[in-house]
Amino acid sequence: MKCPTCQKPSAKNFDPFCSSTCKNIDLLRWLKGDYRIPQAEDVSEDLNREESIEIFD
């Protein structure tokens, strides 16, 4: 699987991303609402964003 952010091979620790940096970049894009993960069709549309933000703590 490729990293959705930079298309490099993903790392197990950060699957499907290659690093924590790319994971955070992707998450920030998603939180801003201008990005959708193509293969995450099973993610609920009404996912609570406030809960997601807690990941950064």
Residue (22 or 27) nearer to Zn ion, CB: 22
Distance CA 30, CA 35 (A): 5
Residue (3 or 27) nearer to Zn ion, CB: 3
Examine residue 27 and tell whether it contacts Zn ion (CB under 5 A).
Answer: no
Q: Give Cα separations from 46 to 21, 36, 43, 49, 51 (angstroms).
A: 25, 13, 9, 8, 12
Span interacting with Zn ion, options 8-16, 31-39, 40-48, 49-57, rule CB under 5 A: 8-16
Please select the residue that binds Zn ion; options are 12, 16, 20, 22, rule is CB under 5 A: 22
